[in-house]
Amino acid sequence: MQRIYLDNAATTALDPLVLEAMMPYLTEKFGNPSSIYSYGRESRLAIENARKTVAKLLGAHPAEIFFTSGGTESSNTAIHAAILDLGCTHIISSPIEHHATLHTVEYFQQQHGIPVSLIRVLPDGHVDLSQLRDLLAAHNGKSLVTLMHANNEIGNLTDIHQVGEICKEFNAIFHSDTVQTVGHYPFDLRNTPVHFITGAGHKFHGPKGVGILYINENVQIKPFIHGGSQERNMRAGTENLYGIVGFAKALELAMTNYEKDSANIGELKAYMAQQLLKEIPETSLNGDCFGQSLYTVLNVAFPKTEKSEMLLFNLDINGICASGGSACTSGADLGSHVIRAFNNDPNKVAVRFSFSKHNTTVEIDQVIAKLKGMF
Q: Which residues are catalytic?
A: 328
The separation between CA 318 and the C-alpha centre of its own chain, rounded to angstroms, equals: 28
The total of other beta-carbon atoms located within 10 Å of residue 327's CB is 14
Contact, 106 vs 135, CB < 8 A? no
Nearest by Cα to 197 from 145, 238, 153 = 145
| Strand ranges in 222-294 using DSSP code E only, listed in sequence order | 284-286
Q: From the CB of residue 123, how many other CB atoms can be counted at a distance below 10 Å?
A: 8
83 C-beta neighbours (distance < 10 Å), count:
21
Q: How many C-beta atoms surround the C-beta of residue 284 within 10 A? A: 14
Q: How far apart are CA 273 and CA 276, in angstroms?
A: 5
H or E segment and range at residue 266: helix 258-279
**Alpha-carbon gap, residue 42 to 324, rounded angstroms:** 44
Output the CA–CA distances (angstroms, integers) from residue 14 to 24, 112, 131, 359, in the order listed. Answer: 16, 40, 40, 14
Decide: residue 244, CB within 10 A, 0-12 exposed, 13-18 middle, 19+ buried: buried
Interatomic CA distance for residues 240 and 354, integer angstroms: 28
Is residue 180 within 8 Å of residue 150, measured between CB atoms?
yes
Q: Which residues pair with 174 in a beta bridge?
A: 145
Residues 116, 121, 127: CA angle, nearest 5 degrees: 85
